[in-house]
Structure 1
């Protein structure tokens, strides 16, 4: 059970993020079979990106937002994700990338975000990106202003729901005409799988250790 006193939660999470991270052992729990079977590795064209995992207090609990990507001609079309995107030249580091992208995509006021730490950087073979998850907190529930070009919907997730082991499943998921076996988190009517599920797995392991 997570202490829903937001200040206590924030202080505890910050301490936990300073300890060695579980990394690959957590990622493997929610990785698709295809990820390891195909054996795709980073190369000279691999780019850097970052996402923001942002907690905030709401209704006597703790929430974080996920986004639903619109349908488009791309490898992550229609998938659930954290706000984020590729690193640009104007970004002095990946933390700044995560904050900038969150502001652009869903309207989070980044000047109010307190960054607590990082999770393990994760390679995403289909898009050839390394993605850095950045953990932050807001002292209030934000008003979301999703960019319709990047975000079809913002889904607010109760952390207690994420901690419920019954939301974990395994299924065959079709991606661009290819069927893959993948574990997922069932969050409301959405299945969260792939890199986002792997990041959530590490986050939950950090919170539970």
Structure 2
């Protein structure tokens, strides 16, 4: 894992694939167009974390399944993270704080390597920075009882397996029928904004 970490540290400080990778996972309407969301307010800032660690000889990263609720991301797979708070000071702190709140990983256990491209989550009007970090310890996960329905320890190899890149029709919380690419990770459907961010991460790993 250390060799991967060393190469990632360098790669994340170079030009990133950004939209070229994001666009591979865009959900579309039957017309072939994207859903166009409009908001009166400026987007809220936020951050998520891709946390790499090694367990049983396999490099993994945690993902969460959101519970069912009255919201646009109901029941979806996501990376741990959330909204920026003024007390955070910067978005790296947001990613660490929210990861601790949602899955119980202490910030001191996380070594941040860098971040991916800023990403606009149009469905919820959030501008997200995905951070990448690693832990030398196997995290002890404690799911938040309100925000997290399940924690998935996703093998990195499954993200890179082209056989797990699939497509299906998805009906959103807004009632849209979308034709969406998705990652089949641990038998979970990872689509939408999370899949688009992970697509960039996969492109970076594949280029190492």
Cα shift readout 1:47-85 (whole Å, capped 9, x = no counterpart): 101001100011112110000000010000100000000
Residue 187 (structure 1) aligns with: 185
Q: How has the CA–CA distance of structure 1 residues 43 and 121 changed in structure 2, closer, same or farther, with 3 Å as cutoff? A: farther
Q: Secondary structure at the match of 1:71?
A: coil
Cα shift readout 1:87-120 (whole Å, capped 9, x = no counterpart): 0111111111000000000000111211000000
1:21 aligns with 2:16: yes
Q: Structure 1 unaligned segments of length 5 or more: list them.
A: 1-5
Q: 2:146 aligns with which of 141, 145, 149?
A: 149
Residue 139 (structure 1) aligns with: 136
**Alignment RMSD (CA, Å):** 1.5
Question: Is the 2:160–2:206 Cα contact (8 Å) retained in structure 1?
Answer: no
| TM-score, normalised by the number of residues in structure 2 | 0.94
Partner Cα separation in structure 1 for residue 40 and residue 61 of structure 2: 33
Deviation at 1:162, TM superposition (A): 1.3
Q: Structure 2 unaligned segments of length 5 or more: list them.
A: none
Q: Secondary structure at the match of 1:98?
A: helix
Deviation at 1:125, TM superposition (A): 1.0
Question: Is the 2:55–2:138 Cα contact (8 Å) retained in structure 1?
Answer: yes
Mapping of residues 51-66 of structure 1, within 5 Å? 51-66=48-63
Residue 3 (structure 1) aligns with: none
Q: Secondary structure at the match of 2:59?
A: strand
Q: How has the CA–CA distance of structure 1 residues 113 and 38 changed in structure 2, closer, same or farther, with 3 Å as cutoff? A: same
1:32 aligns with 2:30: no
Question: Is the 1:42–1:123 Cα contact (8 Å) retained in structure 2?
Answer: no
1:73 aligns with 2:70: yes
Q: 1:128 aligns with which of 114, 125, 128?
A: 125
Residue 2 (structure 2) aligns with: 7
Partner Cα separation in structure 1 for residue 177 and residue 158 of structure 2: 28
Partner Cα separation in structure 2 for residue 116 and residue 79 of structure 1: 26
Question: Is the 1:63–1:156 Cα contact (8 Å) retained in structure 2?
Answer: yes
Deviation at 1:189, TM superposition (A): 2.2
Partner Cα separation in structure 2 for residue 88 and residue 195 of structure 1: 21
Partner Cα separation in structure 2 for residue 208 and residue 31 of structure 1: 20
Q: How has the CA–CA distance of structure 1 residues 8 and 171 changed in structure 2, closer, same or farther, with 3 Å as cutoff? A: same
